[in-house]
Structure 1
Amino acid sequence: MGSEIVAATDGGHAASNWLRLGRDGRLTAYASCADGLVRWTESSPGSDHWQGPELLPVEDWHGRFTLSQDSDGFISFAGMRHREGMPGGLEFIVATQYQTARPLSAWRPVGNPFRTNEPTLSGLGDPVVLTDGAGLLHVVGARFGQGVRGRTRSTDGAWGKWTDLDGKWVRGSVVPLVTSEGYGEYLTPFRGGAVYVRQERPGAAFKWRGRVHADAVEGTYSSYETSPGIGTYFWRHPADGSVVAYRPRSAAGQASALMPLGGAGGVGPVGIVRTPVNGYDCTVMLQLGAEGYPEIGAYPTEGEQYGAWWAPVGDRCVGLPAMGIDGLGAVTIAIVDMDGGLRVARRDLSEVGLAFGAWRRVG
């Protein structure tokens, strides 16, 4: 497709983790436009030449999406489209990309579990999708006052019915994570805290595992596996927008206390990767700063007590910046610029610390 295709410059891409590494070592960036998804793909691992922007059209596209990646490298998308006769006129849809730069599967409609007498579905969070270690694909939706509902596709492709996963007073989307051991889990945010839900084993039902009482800015949650089988969740404190971290379970089975990580004034969820820095395993965070510029922070993984440093790293952008590790092992940052194009900067592995090279517009 031609260069006239641009991502939505109102930050229409909803996903906070929209830069992904394929099994062939190439990165792909995803955003949203009026007619569907926009995709850019590296021509080779670590290359400054990218294919795209490429339009992946979606009929009656609502404009927002979430995505996840399974252990096979398959990338699954969840979103909504306008559909007459559905609650609030919206239908949940899912699709999967099985190989880098290849076409997506057909978008599968999975319905909408939330009844309404209103013209719009107020309080509706974006649907999320996750694939557990047993190969089951789960679509989870949430609506304030009605709770969390999930639907599962088995390995033979058959879809089960929508089931009630409780969480009546949920605010926004659930926050999913699949560990390297294949366990699916998520946080269900509510006013003043969140409920932790996890499978007993891959393929099993999701069950309540605990609760954390902590104020948070709505819509700022993210998650990352910070040690084998252990997920850490991040969100913003309402007092100043700073980032806090929380582990619902540790290697000893105990929940952590809330751990402050700075980044005051930032907005939205943070992007997360893990990478060695000066010989130490570090967790690297990427946020949209208060002035609309990306900012990067880092700290020793699961060593939140040591604090994190933050620094600006790039030009003004729309929507959330994204981060991943490229096929050559370099932390890579991507933004959608003010014209709806893609810009990329990579860590300079020849430098000490966490230094980045020049930004390049690749689409």
Structure 2
Amino acid sequence: MPDRASRPRRGRAAEAVGFRTATAAVTATAATAVLLLAGSAGPGGPSAAAPSGGGAVGAAAAPADPPDPGRVLQIVAHPDDDLYFMNPDLRYSIAAGRPVTSVYLTSGEADGVNAGAAEEATTPPDKAAYADRPDSLHGLWDGRVPRLESMFASGSPVRQGFTYTKDQVVRTLVGILERYGPTTVRSQDPTPGRFPDTKRYTDHQDHFYGARFVQVALGAYARDVKDRPHFAVQNYLGYFNGSLPGVLDPGEAGEKLDVLDTYAWTDRSDHCGSAAGCGDLKVADHPAGNHWSSSINYARGTSTSWLASDAQYGLWAFKVLDGRLAVWHRAGLLGAWSGPRLLPDAPGTLMDQGISTVTLGDGRIAVFGTRTSFGAGPGDYRREVVHAVQKGPGSEEFGDWAVLGTPETSDEDWTSDISAPAVALDGSGQLAVYVRDGSYTLRGRVRSADGGWGPWEKYGGADLHGSPAAGTDSAGRRIVLAATARSVLGWAQPEAGAPLGPATETGLPETALPITAQGRGNGVRLWLRKPGSGNVRTALVTADGGLKASGLTDVGGLSGFGAVTASGHLLAGRTSGGRLGADVGWGRVWERAPLMFVGAPSSTMTGTSTVSLAVLGLDARLYVTSAADAPDAHLAPWQPVGPPGTAP
């Protein structure tokens, strides 16, 4: 365990030299000095665990063949970041036998003393890690310093000092990616935003500038390395988890805290024989952090509308692989699946996780997402909304990406912190796209009858978090919903074709992120999770006589966290243990399918009597199943699409 000092969340000093220890070591030799946390390298994965709860649904939902379990690579700024912000996903992956490798860009060194606050009270308090300082990952990214110097952790195998540049960090990360060949890459949030009142970053600058280094490395890896598997990316919120409702149930939170207690060396037993100590005493005074042990939130990838059906009962799936939009297609009800096929994109850009689809009035599918562009210099970093439309109903071809831009004026203002888009088509055929902006309000653009898009409109609201959700009621009115830290806000058209109405309180209680909405009858059905429980809740939001929510109901579930997808009688989402849970018919016992996946599941009605469900596995492979849309139905066996370990 390297000697290390705290970061500002622990109220202690953080010297500039402390932000580069492990990066220097990684740059020196990726094979030797990268800090690793590896799980079992056995096959494990979906085929290794039996479904819990018994019953025919779990038995029927087993994958058709034992897939490659895939490989998970986590790249974080500091050695406790995966424990605080990616767990329990980390624990789930290891328990399932998935190979997991963690790479730490710095070892968090500051004063070089492994001691708690009471033992090292002479260290002055500081907020430096939030500041705009040149001698850091931020400064290296921006070019304010051309290189950083090395500082060695206790026990480091590196003995000779050296310096390293921005390009060397990127090339080293590319080398690590090439060596481990991950199918899932976990990273921190590259665009965490600022607090609206103080304009301070909401996260540690190492977290999000480290994540930007990862983005550049992933782009180079996808472009230059051909002998590799496809990969998906999952980004995680950092410090801001402490300002949101807790996500994990008490049992899961307790398991997470147990791991942090071990990391913090709370028992003080000398079980390692290291002069530096057997844990991180800088977190020993408060291993739970700022409520981080009771939560986990994905920064992106929570959309549940990426699976779509067409008039010929075909299915289309849209996810991001290798930084580009991947398309899978099943022709008709009984046709064979094809894909993934990667759509071309502009050089110097990466598609972000979080794809939403909508079927236009003529039957074509429109696909919306955001993409990150890096530009010629660090100030050119930008995230913008883009969309592509099928060239014809059922066509395999899509038009070029059209850029809808961003409501943000520059990356410096809000760190390009716009959400994934929510889209909806109203009864007049008017299409609209909505995002949460960096100041936590709702923004949107509406397409006019001539096909042109209006400007980014301001729809207000405050304290919005996550991505908005949108649906259309039976009267053709768009209803938009967004979670706050205390409730849910809503907006509705008074009639189809009219402008969106004002932000309205729904009166719903606080909810864990994210939320899902779907047009159902005379309103929009909202799906959400109970904080500190993981139970799934639902309410109907209507617009007649003003926007209001009614009928809040707890429909249970198997705990867990993340987005819930709903179509017909089907509900599905991530359960405790990280596996997919499904309920085909409300009131029945939820069953776990032995599948671990990236982001959120998606479902859609295929015709009027069949519901289809899909996930993207940790092996970057699409898995699909279906069931009759009836309360006594069962899911068909899961079908993997394409061979395991598919190369680009």
Whether TM exceeds 0.5 here: the answer is yes
Q: Work out whether 1:235 is the aligned partner of 2:235.
A: no
- Does 1:30 pair with 2:318? yes
Query: Which of 564, 576, 581 is the equivalent residue of 1:290?
Result: 576
Give the 3 Å change call, closer, same or farther, for CA 240–87 of structure 1 in structure 2.
Answer: farther
Aligned counterpart in structure 2 of residue 78 of structure 1, from 356, 361, 368: 368
Distance apart, 1:113 and its partner CA? 1.1
Deviation at 1:339, TM superposition (A): 1.8
SS in 2 for 1:61: strand
* 1:74/1:99 contact within 8 Å kept: yes
Question: Whole-Å Cα distance in 2 between the matches of residues 262 and 121 of structure 1?
Answer: 37
- Could you tell me whether the CA contact under 8 Å between 1:9 and 1:338 is conserved in 2? no
2:343 corresponds to 1:64? no
Q: Are the aligned partners of 2:506 and 2:549 in contact in 1 as well (CA < 8 Å)?
A: no
Q: After TM superposition, give the deviation of residue 192 of structure 1 in Å.
A: 0.4
2-side partners of 1:268 and 1:122: how far apart? 23
Which residue of 12, 15, 22 corresponds with 2:303? 15
Secondary structure of residue in 2 paired with 1:16:
coil
CA contact (8 A) 1:123 1:171 kept: no
Mapped contact 1:61–1:82 kept (Cα < 8 A): yes
Contact 1:75 1:96 in 2 (8 A): yes
The answer to whether the Cα contact below 8 Å between 1:140 and 1:150 also exists between their aligned partners in 2 is: yes
Aligned to 1:277: none
**Quick check: 2:388–2:398 contact (8 Å CA) kept in 1?**
yes
Corresponding residue for residue 248 of structure 1: 541
Which stretch shows the higher mean deviation, 253-262 or 34-43? 253-262
**What value does the CA root-mean-square deviation take over the aligned residues?**
3.0
Aligned to 2:626: 346
1:334 and 2:614 matched:
yes
Q: 1:323 aligns with which of 603, 620, 636?
A: 603
Structure 2 match to 1:148 = 442
Change (3 A) 1:120 1:89: farther
Aligned-pair CA distance for 1:299: 4.5
With normalisation by structure 1, the TM-score equals 0.84
Shift of residue 129, structure 1, vs aligned partner: 2.3
Structure 2 SS opposite 1:135: coil
1:310 paired residue among 576, 590, 593: 590
Kindly report which structure 2 residues correspond to 1:194-213, keeping only aligned pairs within 5 A, or say none: 194-208=488-502, 209-213=504-508
Name the SS for the 1:261 alignment partner: strand
- How far 1:118 sits from its partner (Å)? 2.6
Matched, 1:362 2:641: yes
- The Cα offsets for residues 278-301 of structure 1, whole Å up to 9 and x where unpaired, read as xxxxx320111121211112445x
2:341 is equivalent to residue 44 of structure 1: no
Q: Is the 8 A contact 1:88 1:118 kept in 2?
A: no
Aligned AA for 1:330? T
* Structure 1, unaligned runs of 5 or more: 275-282, 301-306
Residues 7 and 38 of structure 1 are in contact (CA less than 8 Å); yes or no, is this contact kept in structure 2? no
Residues of 1 paired with 2:321 and 2:450: CA distance? 33
In 2, Cα distance between equivalents of 1:121 and 1:136: 31
Could you tell me which amino acid in structure 1 is paired with residue 539 of structure 2? Y
CA drift at 1:7: 5.2
Q: Following the alignment from structure 1 to structure 2, what is the Cα–Cα distance between the partners of residues 150 and 345?
A: 34
Residues 338, 189 of structure 1: alpha-carbon distance in 2 compared, 3 angstrom cutoff: closer
* Higher RCO, 1 vs 2 (CA within 8 Å, ≥6 residues apart): 2
Q: What letter is aligned with 1:55?
A: L
For residues 183 and 4 of structure 1, what CA distance do their matches in structure 2 show?
46
String of CA shifts for 1:49-76, please: whole Å, max 9, x gaps: 2111111122212322332323533322
**Alignment equivalent of 2:462, drawn from 168, 178, 181:** 168
Partner Cα separation in structure 2 for residue 335 and residue 117 of structure 1 = 32
Structure 1 residue 232: Cα displacement: 1.2
Task: Kindly indicate whether the alpha-carbon contact (under 8 Å) linking 1:272 and 1:284 is maintained by their aligned counterparts in 2.
Answer: yes
- Per-residue CA distance 1:234-265 (angstroms, 9 max, x = gap): 11111211111112238898631421111242
SS, match of residue 506 in structure 2: strand
Paired with 2:623 and 2:495, the residues of 1 have a C-alpha distance of: 40
User: In proportion to residue count, which structure has more strand?
Assistant: 1
- Once structures 1 and 2 are overlaid, which stretch shifts more, 180-189 or 5-14? 5-14
Deviates more, 1:204-213 or 1:5-14: 5-14
- The CA deviation at 1:127 is 2.3
Check the 8 A contact 1:345/1:359 in 2, yes or no: yes
Q: Percent identity?
A: 23
Query: CA offsets, 1:217-242, max 9 Å, x none?
Result: 12x20012332x22110111112111
Matched pairs, number: 344
* Partners of 2:494 and 2:543 within 8 A in 1: no
The answer as to 2:428 corresponding to 1:134 is yes
Bigger proportion of residues as helix: 2
Compute the displacement of 1:195 (Å): 1.5
Q: Quick one: structure 1 residues 264 and 116, their matched pair in 2 at CA, closer, same or farther if it must change by over 3 Å? A: farther
Deviations 1:182-201 (A, max 9, x none): 21111122110111111011
C-alpha change, 1:225 and 1:162, in structure 2 (3 Å) is closer
TM-score normalized by structure 2? 0.49
* Partner in structure 1 of residue 408 of structure 2: 114
CA distance in 2 between counterparts of 1:249 and 1:130 reads 16
Deviation at 1:319, TM superposition (A): 2.5
- Residue of structure 2 equivalent to 1:179: 473
Q: What are the Cα deviations for residues 29-85 of structure 1, in whole angstroms up to 9, with x where unaligned? A: 1110123111111133133x2111111122212322332323533322222223449
Conservation of the 8 A alpha-carbon contact between 2:488 and 2:508: yes
Aligned residue for 1:31, secondary structure, equals strand
Once the two structures are TM-superposed, the CA of residue 207 in structure 1 deviates from its matched residue by 0.5
Q: Which moved more, 1:137-146 or 1:9-18?
A: 9-18
Equivalent residue letter for 2:332:
S
Q: Which moved more, 1:177-186 or 1:76-85?
A: 76-85
CA contact (8 A) 2:422 2:470 kept: yes
Which residue matches 1:55?
342
Report if the CA contact (8 A) 1:93-1:111 is conserved: yes
C-alpha distance in 1 between matches for 2:478 and 2:229? 36
The answer for the alignment partner of 1:278 in structure 2 is none
Which residue identity lines up with residue 506 of structure 2 in the other structure? R
